[in-house]
């Protein structure tokens, strides 16, 4: 029988408000009442079935992507990302584009970026003021933007880099405002939405102009010069599908904006959370310092710290798939037109998988490797985050550089609460710290 799993009976407007304002408490409450599977009803959205049983997640992540689509579930982002964005495509077009892009994000390719990221991170730390409050999240946003401009777009330091970052910052500030996201979500085809889109076009146009110019110049390089470059854009310009076709200019531009939006705030927030957690767990921090003293790029402990941070403080609390036809899930038929929401937040807090789930204990990932369907900060299946290797490399490289180069204390010793920041879950006070010492001061003493 086609029936939706049970869920709260509150009016849609109330469920929407609670989901926007206190999503963690809202999910915890439903999981306590209904268990691993429950249906939430939000305004302007199909019914959403939240899932946190690892077997259910396996069924969803391995399902036919034609049947469970991710692109339609991301429709809301189209005005920002552009119609050719990997995040919005489904079916054959998604597969083709993903195959074209995957090699440029492969772990071995990406490994070469560590030195550039490390150098940018060391320079960033050297600019920090001593003994005054410093919101790390904002600094990490600046740093991840530099990393994207340099490593992904291949733009060297100089006027082009400055102009690009200023224009990207205006776009990011626009899309980080959660009122705008809510306006886009709730106000389909209303004057509010039109006004919102007008503002978006004003910040998007200068970004497109500069990206188009960069793509044109890259395409104009002779093959030898292009092959000698290692930035992601240069790799994407050279990529060909099985019929020998490259990505079009429009596809390239939309993918660059997508990489920026998908990769910037997420990674910056993850680094900020890792430092926020470490500073409140001195033993874990001391162990990391020890590891870095022996291996400046870090080893298993750094990896475990990164994984435990993303478990306990997932940047995106759910991912989504839209059922285009009835879908059999754990003996039940989910009707067509339902959204399935593998719930990162709830899976990561299952006490049967993670004993003492609320504790920050990186060693759990030394004792047991991260499971495909129990550690899902990057989603899963054919839609799993394209930038996962890149994100992990950047998170670990920056974390190592900050811990090596500076001695930080939290501005307020109390743990920072989780706050929804547009679509990401960020530290409420921006992971604010005080820099007690840093190089060169460290080396003088």
Q: Which of 377, 410, 427, 430 binds ligand HEM (CB under 6 A)?
A: 377
CB of 176 to ligand HEM, least distance (A): 15
Q: Which of 319, 399, 400, 408 binds ligand HEM (CB under 6 A)?
A: 319
Residue 284 lies near ligand HEM (rule: CB under 6 A): no
Cβ proximity of 256 and 371 under 8 Å: no
Q: Which of 387, 410, 427, 430 binds ligand HEM (CB under 6 A)?
A: 387
Q: Which of 259, 275, 292, 302 binds ligand HEM (CB under 6 A)?
A: 259
Indicate the length of the chain as a whole number.
445
Residue 19 lies near ligand HEM (rule: CB under 6 A): no
Q: Which of 50, 128, 301, 378 binds ligand HEM (CB under 6 A)?
A: 378
Q: Which of 16, 258, 309, 397 binds ligand HEM (CB under 6 A)?
A: 258
CB of 223 to ligand HEM, least distance (A): 25
Q: Hey, which residues between 175 and 234 contact ligand HEM (CB under 6 A)?
A: none
Residue 167 lies near ligand HEM (rule: CB under 6 A): no
Residue 87 lies near ligand HEM (rule: CB under 6 A): yes
Q: Which of 379, 410, 427, 430 binds ligand HEM (CB under 6 A)?
A: 379
Give dist(CA 94, CA 214) in Å, integer. 24
Q: Hey, which residues between 63 and 82 contact ligand HEM (CB under 6 A)?
A: 70
Q: Is 64 exposed, middle or buried (0-12, 13-18, 19+ CB in 10 A)?
A: exposed
CB of 160 to ligand HEM, least distance (A): 20
The stretch among 198-206, 214-222, 245-253, 262-270 that binds ligand HEM (CB under 6 A) is 262-270
Q: Which of 385, 399, 406, 433 binds ligand HEM (CB under 6 A)?
A: 385
427 SS3 class: strand
Tokens 């992971």, residue located: 431
Interface positions with ligand HEM (CB under 6 A) = 70, 86-87, 98, 152, 258-259, 262-263, 266-267, 270, 315-316, 319, 377-380, 383-387, 390-391
């Amino acid at each position: 029988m086609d029936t939706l799993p049970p869920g709260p009976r509150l009016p849609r407007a109330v469920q929407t408000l609670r989901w926007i304002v206190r999503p963690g408490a809202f999910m915890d409450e439903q999981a306590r009442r209904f268990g691993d599977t429950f249906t939430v009803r939000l305004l302007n959205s199909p019914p959403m079935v939240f899932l946190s049983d690892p077997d259910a997640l396996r069924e969803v992540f391995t399902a036919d992507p034609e049947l469970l689509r991710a692109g339609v579930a991301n429709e809301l982002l189209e005005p920002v990302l552009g119609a050719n964005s990997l995040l919005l495509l489904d079916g054959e077009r998604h597969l083709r584009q993903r195959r074209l892009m995957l090699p440029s994000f492969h772990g071995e390719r990406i490994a070469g970026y560590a030195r550039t990221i490390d150098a940018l991170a060391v320079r960033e730390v050297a600019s920090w003021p001593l003994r005054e409050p410093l919101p790390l999240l904002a600094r990490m946003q600046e740093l991840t933007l530099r990393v994207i401009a340099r490593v992904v777009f291949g733009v060297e330091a100089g006027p082009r880099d400055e102009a690009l970052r200023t224009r990207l910052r205006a776009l990011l500030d626009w899309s980080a405002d959660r009122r705008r996201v809510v306006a886009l979500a709730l106000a389909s085809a209303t004057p509010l939405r039109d006004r919102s889109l007008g503002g978006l076009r004003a910040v998007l146009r200068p970004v497109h102009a500069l990206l188009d110019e960069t793509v044109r110049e890259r395409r104009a390089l002779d093959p030898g010069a292009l092959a000698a470059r290692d930035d992601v854009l240069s790799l994407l310009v050279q990529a060909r599908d099985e019929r020998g076709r490259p990505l079009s200019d429009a596809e390239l531009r939309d993918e660059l904006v997508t990489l920026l939006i998908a990769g910037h705030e997420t990674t910056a927030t993850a680094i900020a959370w890792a430092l926020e957690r470490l500073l409140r767990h001195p033993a874990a921090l001391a162990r990391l310092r020890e590891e870095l003293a022996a291996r400046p790029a870090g080893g298993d402990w750094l990896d475990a710290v990164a994984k435990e941070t993303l478990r306990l403080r997932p940047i995106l609390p759910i991912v989504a798939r839209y059922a285009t036809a009835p879908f059999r899930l754990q003996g039940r038929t989910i009707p067509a037109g339902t959204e399935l929401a593998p719930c990162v937040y709830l899976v990561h807090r299952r006490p049967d998988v993670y004993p003492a789930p609320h504790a920050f204990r990186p060693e759990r990932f030394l004792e047991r490797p991260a499971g495909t369907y129990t550690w899902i900060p990057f989603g899963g299946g054919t839609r799993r985050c394209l930038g996962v290797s890149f994100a992990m490399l950047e998170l670990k490289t920056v974390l190592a550089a900050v811990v090596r180069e500076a001695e930080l204390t939290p501005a307020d010793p109390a743990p920072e609460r989780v706050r929804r920041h547009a679509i990401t879950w960020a530290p409420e006070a921006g992971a604010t710290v005080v820099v007690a010492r840093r190089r060169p001061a460290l080396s003088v003493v």
